[in-house]
Structures are given as structure tokens and as C-alpha cells.
Structure 1
Amino acid sequence: MNKFDAESSPADLIPEIVANIAGIRDLRRDIHAHPELCFEEVRTAELVAAKLTEWGIPVHRGLGKTGVIGIVKAGSSDSAIGLRADMDALPMHEQNSFAHASRHPGKMHGCGHDGHTAMLLAAAEYLATQRNFDGTVYLIFQPAEEGGGGADEMIKDGLFELFPMQVVYGMHNWPELPAGQFAVSPGPVMASLNTFRIVVRGKGCHAALPHLGLDPVPVAAQMIMAFQTILTRNANPLDNGLISVTMLHAGEATNIIADTCELAGTVRTFSNQLLDLIETRMREIARHICLAHGMECDFDFKRSYPPTVNHDQAVAVSRSVMTRIVGERQVLEQKATMGAEDFAYMLQKLPGSYCFIGNGSGDHRGKGHGAGPCTLHNTSYDFNDDILPLGATYWVRLVEACLPVS
């Protein structure tokens, strides 16, 4: 199963995990064929809970509505570690036609959460059998990462009070990395996610008589262009931020100037300080441009996922474990991305790290895959089953490093 790129060093995989990986692969494909959206992961949660119970692992249900916690204890230490995998799918129509393609139109595991769940299950089976550690491992199977904030909901339901742990770790497959490689770095690695909606309120009229109305469209256009000056003229040029107007709507007929023009989009930053600046300036720009044209606007700004910020010591542990498994050359610096991840909520509460595991370029996909690339949130994507034992081995060795037997 160690089918990695030719240039990659052979991975030091756990033999027992490799021997049992066919069953885990089948689980992964079963989950892929039955995708469930955020907070609807009933079947997936049942499958996870059933497998954990089969392996003698106590299970707690219901955190974050459909979340599952598995509890594996060994030895007498009070130390504890959390390992998190997300379970939800995306509202996408899958273009693949292989045997395990989605059986539910409009729902797809287009981000690999089926693989994340499978890797943690493979690790759970080994940990429950061998228990070569001293302390407690909390296996966190989380719902609703894709926009639902499932991590935050689990925390609100008492995740860290009911299951006290000192550190928490997350992992995501990454198609930009060859299979057989990892990437991890301290500090911000994923951006915050925030949305805005602005309604410019003008006065509709006949398009042939514009002087009788107040056209909101050119006002919205000025607003869009002015927003970009926030990053180039108000923010420190060394601070990374992104303002994207992704929706614009006005009018219903070609010969009518609309009463209103609505624009919406996202703001992404790696720091709350820059986010504060952007929100303040966007409000000011929107208001004053409207006033200059005799109009008003409704401005709504919603803060969603915070930045995902890795902790130095946890990253050092992750990197050491990865190096042991695949060699130093295959452990890369993690390039920060403007994508968002709700594991950020957990890292706000506890030390931890969030790493990437290479998923390859798509050559692993069998006959029947779609014509698109094997990238995240693409309708032709599929998780690389060849990396299942690698991810599971990482989880196990991480537990052994954090909870060593004295």
C-alpha cells in the first residue's frame, strides 16, 4: 500500500495498520458513496460509533448534534491528547462514475473528509488493540466543518470540559503535495473567513430618464473598486488579506434602473487586527460613497471562522513524528492558504497543530473519474486511498510521542 511518488523515501508504516487497511479502504469508499451535509451526518456517525464499539472503544454521542467521541485509555497517566477528523460532505454534484461515487445527487465528499474519518478509524483500531501509550486519547469525529462551524458547536456543548486534554491535533489531505509528503509550520496556516452583504438603496426609474432616479449600480461599482484600496493603502503591505466581491445583483429588466443593488462577498485575513481595520474601512467607504450620491446602504458584516494558528511546541512534535515516518526531506514547510478551517476554534482553546498530508495529483483515481482535476472542492475529486496507512501511522506515532510509556 506504500504507493507513493518514485522520488519519495519509503515510509516507515505500522505493519498491523497496513495489514488491515483493505477494510478501512472499504469503509472510506462506503462513506464516500453516502455523503451527508453539515449536521446531517447521521449514517456516518452511526458507522463510526459502530466500528469504535466493535473495537472495544467507549463512545460518546451528540456533541455538536452529530459528533462522535471515542475514548481510548492505557496506563495510569492523567495526560490526554485529542485527534480530530471531520465527517461532512459538500453540496456538490459529483462527476465521477466509479463504483463508490456518490449515490445522493447534489452531495459529494469533494474535500476528503471521508478519508480523514477513515484514517482516524484505522488509528483507533490499532490504538485499541496495542495501547502502547500512557494516558488517554480522545478521538474527535467532528460534523459540519464545511461552513457549519461544527468544531465551535462541539466546544459549546462541552467538548473540552467533558474530555479534558492538554493538546489537540488536526490533519487535512492536500492535493498540491505529492503522496508521501507532509507539511506543517508554526503560526497562521489558514485564514479567517468572514462574509459581507451590502444593499445600496437608490431610486428606480426608466432607463431613458436617469435624471429622475438615483442609480445604485455605479455607486456599487465605485464601492467595489474602493474596497481594494484598503489593502493597498490602509493596511500594512506585509499583512496578508483578501477582499472578494463575489456576488452582484440589480434589476430585473434591461430598460429599468433598479431601486437597489446588492453586493456580497468574503474577507479573509490571518490576524484579527487586520480584520478590524478592513471591516471599519469597508463600513466607512460604503456609507460615504452612498452619501456622496444622495443614497444610503444597509451594511452587514459577519465574522465566521477565525484564523487557524498553529502552536510552536505542537508543531515541533508533529514534525519530529513525520520525520521519523517519511524522512526529513518529505516534511515540508506548510504554505499558508487563504482557505478557512473551523479547527481554528479548537486551537483558540488549546495548544495544537494542523498539518497537511499529500494527496497526490490524481493519478490514483480509477476508471470512471470525472474530467476535472483532483483538487479540493472539485466535482472530479477523490481521496487517495494509498495514503490511508500513512495518515493512520502518523496519528498513532503522534499519540506515542505525546503519551510515552515511562
Structure 2
Amino acid sequence: MFTADQINEAISWRHDFHRHPEIGFEETRTSAIIADLLEGWGWTVHRGIAKTGVIAKLGEGPGIGIRADIDALPILEAGKSDHCSTYPGKMHACGHDGHTAMLLMAAQQIAKLDLGGRSVTLIFQPAEENEGGGRHMVQEGVFDRFPCEAIFAIHNWPALAPGHFVARDDRMMAAIGIFEIVLRGRGGHAAMPEQSSGVLTAAGRLIPMLQEVPARRISPLETGVISVTTIHGGTAFNICPDEVKLTGSARWFSKEVGEVLQTAMEEITKAVAVAHDCTAEVNFISDYPPTINTPEHAATARRVAEEMGLCVTNPDPSMASEDFSFMLERQPGAYIWLGAGREGKNPGLHAADYDFNDDVLATGAEFWVRLVQDSLK
């Protein structure tokens, strides 16, 4: 479907995006390149959607939407390739540069199709990492302005070998809640701990108790996790601090489990604080909902993949989170994992030495073209 020259061109786009990573809502250079290319191929382009997003439409009437995320992460790259990040402290550690390049590659081919009274909408979304660009797009009424019968997205998946494809009928990615716990009490001299509150001791006991909550508060047939990931407190070896801060995240699929995790966290934290003569403040924010595919559209994606000769598998869902979930709450559709592992050293997503596998660019682009063709039938 694609010539060697077309593949090399897509690789050059990907490498350029990788050299110039832009984090959430700062993707001005990235979105300008995307918009200019699409306009050159005949797409009707809308810029500045959700601040730095781009939406392109081809044709009229009903049709499908395809989303690619375009933002990078605030990570100092440790890779040694000739296309490493030129922006210190920022890198494409999740493959959004590849997602963007494969959708552009497909867009160039889709522009040559006869859509026969139907349409295709491409959504180049900013700020997937942490900032919820998908939520912003939905809140801005993207699907009112650009109606789609169904919406699809691909994420590269280094845990699967190239040629493997996943589109589960329901659960794909978990919901996430972000929490901050602040323990406060009296500080004092380390030689006289009885004159101080035990905020550090409380923190030390609280961490395993919180991470044990899913095992004791929810059914083993359900899924949930609490991870404490940072602890900040104290200034010197001989001072008992008066404040300690813990942060982390909780993950779940069902709304009921999320509510149990939050309630248990608040109850246990306050009880531990009282036992150690201090107070506790718990701030819990439910951030992204779970990413749930509609069976009909997941089945369509699998059928198209099988027609391409891809190996369609059905592994367990991931407890990681994804803001495409906001779009799937609003529209039917499917989120897809495309195998992108490397032989030998194979860094995972968000690793400082991760680099998107260019060998799967053509596979992803071909899938998008075939999916569009299937939607025209």
C-alpha cells in the first residue's frame, strides 16, 4: 500500500517530531506542521482546537473519526539516536510522535479516496499526558461541530511484538484518581521525640495500609490499585518534622470500586493520623474515566486487522489510563493497541531511553486507510 519513499517520508516526520518535542498545550510547532501538511493534501483544516489541537475533515455526510495524540513528556531523554530530543527535559517517551506520523501517512492516502457521500474526521489531540486534552476537546463541543458515527485511536504497545493487534470488546484502560495526603503535627528535636507528633511514623505506617486497601476492601473478582509514589518531609537528621506530604494514584474500572478506594483512603488516613497525634488532609481528584470500547466497533477493528493478516489477541486490560476515555464516553468507538516491541533491549512507555519503533508506522497507517475504506461500504 505504501512505497519505500512514502515510508521514509513518514519516518522523517516522526524523527522531526521526536527532535522537537512539545508538552501539553505547548504543541504549537507540531500542530502547525500537521495542519500545513493536511491542507496541502486537500483536507479542510481547523486549527487551535483545545488550544493547540488540529482537526481535519474530508467529505460530507456521516463518517468515522480517528484520533492521534501529539504531545510529549517532561522527561530528560537518555537515548543516543541521531534524532534525540533537542529540547532538554522534554521527549517523546510514549510514541505520540509515531501516532502522529502514522495518521499523517494515512491521511495522505485517504485524501485520494472517493468517499461517496461520507466523511472522515482526523483529530490531532494535544495534552494527552496528564492535562486531559481529550476532556478539553469534548467540553469544547468537538463532536457537535464535527459529528462522528464512531471514534478510533491507536496506541503503540511495546509489550507486544509487531504484527500483533488488540481491540477488546470492553475494558482497555483503567480510570485514575490522583491523591495528595498532608500529615501535620508538632515538630521538635529528634532527641526528644515525645515532645513531637509522629508525622513521619504515621506516613511510614500509612503507605502499606493504603496499598493494602484493594485486597481488603474490594472483591478479588474486581480490579483496583492504590500506589503511593512520593513522600516529602523533614529537613535534617536531628529535627522531627511537623509536616509530611504523600502523593500517588488509584486505579479502577467500575465506579463503585473507585468510590470504595477513595472512602477507604480517607478513613484510614484520618485514623492513622489520630493514632499518631497529628491531623490529616486528603485531597482526591478523579481524573480520567476508564477507557471502555463498544463491542461493535472493537469487532470492526479486529476484522479489518485480520484482513490485513495481523495477529489479533485478547490480553488483559491495562491499569494505566488514557484520556481517549473522555471521547469514548461521548461517542462509540474503540481504542487499539498495536504491537511495537523491539528485539533485544525494548524500553517500555515513559522510559527515558524509549523510542517509537518505526517498523510499525506503515502497519498503523495501512490499518487507518483500510478502516476508512471499510466505513465506506
**1:133 offset after TM fit, Å?**
5.3
Which residue of 2 is the match for residue 63 of structure 1?
A: 49
SS, match of residue 111 in structure 2:
helix
Which letter maps to 1:400? Q
Q: 1:211 aligns with which of 194, 218, 223?
A: 194
Corresponding position of 1:158: 141
Matches within 5 A, 1:380-399: 380-399=353-372
The 1:386–1:100 alpha-carbon spacing in structure 2 relative to 1, beyond 3 Å, is same
Q: What is the distance in 1 between the residues matched to 2:25 and 2:116?
A: 33
Secondary structure of the 1:129 match is coil
Q: 2:193 and 2:121 mapped to 1: Cα distance?
A: 64
Is 1:197–2:180 an aligned residue pair? yes
| Match of residue 379, structure 1, among 337, 348, 352 | 352
Q: Write out aligned runs for 1:2-401 (5 A).
A: 14=1, 16=2, 20-73=6-59, 78-132=61-115, 134-327=117-310, 330-361=311-342, 373-401=346-374
The Cα offsets for residues 362-403 of structure 1, whole Å up to 9 and x where unpaired, read as: 56xxxxxxxx74321112211122211110111111112223
8 Å Cα contact 2:178/2:284 also seen in 1:
yes
Task: Verify the 8 A CA contact 2:185 2:279 in the aligned structure 1.
Answer: yes
Distance 2:276 2:33 in 1: 59
Q: CA deviation at 1:134?
A: 4.3
Task: Find runs of 4+ consecutive structure 1 residues off by over 4 angstroms.
Answer: 16-19
Could you list the per-position Cα deviations for residues 233-267 of structure 1 after superposition, in whole angstroms to 9, with x for gaps in the alignment? 21111111111111112210111111112111111
SS in 2 for 1:47: helix
More deviation, 33-42/218-227: 218-227
Q: Which deviations, in whole Å up to 9, do the C-alpha atoms of 1:142-190 show, x marking residues without a partner?
A: 0001111001111111211110111100100011111122112111111
Distance 1:34 1:285, change over 3 A: same
Secondary structure of the 2:308 match is: helix
Letter in 2 for 1:336: P
d(CA) in 2 for partners of 1:306, 1:158: 18
Q: 1:311 to 1:319 in 2, by over 3 A?
A: same
Q: How far does residue 286 in structure 1 lie from its aligned partner after superposition? A: 1.0
Deviation at 1:19, TM superposition (A): 5.3
Could you tell me whether the CA contact under 8 Å between 2:185 and 2:199 is conserved in 1?
Answer: yes
Identity %: 42
TM-score by length of 2: 0.96
One-letter code aligned to 2:365: A
Q: CA deviation at 1:32?
A: 1.0
Give the drift of 1:318: 0.4
What one-letter code is carried by the residue in structure 2 that aligns with 1:297? Answer: A
Return the alpha-carbon distance in structure 1 between the equivalents of residues 6 and 367 of structure 2: 16
d(CA) in 1 for partners of 2:350, 2:335: 19
Compared CA separation, residues 18 and 238, structure 1 to 2 (3 A): farther
Q: Which runs of 5+ in 1 are unaligned?
A: 1-13, 364-371
**Given residue 272 of structure 2, which amino acid in structure 1 is its aligned partner?**
I
226-235 or 156-165, which moves further after superposition? 226-235
Compute the RMSD of aligned alpha carbons: 1.5
Matching residue's letter, 2:33: L
Distance 1:186 1:356 in 2: 13
In the alignment, the residues of structure 2 paired with residue 70 and residue 262 of structure 1 have an alpha-carbon distance, to the nearest angstrom, of: 44
Query: Is the CA contact 2:53–2:124 (under 8 Å) kept in the aligned structure 1?
Result: yes
In 1, Cα distance between equivalents of 2:133 and 2:107? 21
Structure 1 residue 73 displacement after superposition: 1.0
Distance 1:273 1:17, change over 3 A: farther
The question of whether the paired residues in 2 share the 8 Å contact of 1:373 and 1:380 is answered with no
Tell me the secondary structure at the aligned position of residue 256 of structure 2.
Answer: helix
Alignment partners' CA distance in 2, 1:137 and 1:157: 20
| Count of aligned positions | 377
Contact 2:224 2:257 in 1 (8 A): yes
Change (3 A) 1:119 1:184: same
User: Is the partner of 1:217 in helix, strand or coil?
Assistant: helix
What is the CA–CA distance in structure 2 between the aligned matches of 1:360 and 1:250, rounded to whole Å? Answer: 39
> Aligned partners of 1:334, 1:137: CA distance in 2, in Å?
30
CA, structure 1 residues 362+382, in 2 after alignment: closer, same or farther (shift >3 Å)?
farther
